Amino acid sequence: MSSNLKIKKQKNIIIISLIIIIGLFVSLAIIKHNHNYQKLNPSDMILFYGDTCPHCQAVAKYIKDNHVKNNLKFKELEVYHNQHNSALLTQYAERCGLDTSEGIGIPLFWTGQKCLVGENEVISFFREH
- Residues in Cβ contact with 105 at an 8 Å cutoff, skipping those fewer than 6 apart: 117, 118
Give CA–CA dist 46/72, Å, rounded. Answer: 11
Greater pLDDT, 116 or 28: 116
Q: What is the mean pLDDT of the chain?
A: 84
Characterize 75-110 residue by residue with b for buried, 16 or more Cβ atoms within 10 angstroms of its Cβ, and e for exposed.
Answer: ebbbbeeeeebbebbbebbeebeeeeeeebbbbbbb
Say which CATH superfamily domain 42-128 falls into: Glutaredoxin (3.40.30.10)
pLDDT (tens digit per residue) in 59-78: 999 999 999 999 999 999 99
Residue type, position 65, single letter: D
What is the pTM (predicted TM-score) of this model? Answer: 0.66
Q: Is 113 left (phi over 0), alpha (psi -120 to 50) or beta?
A: alpha
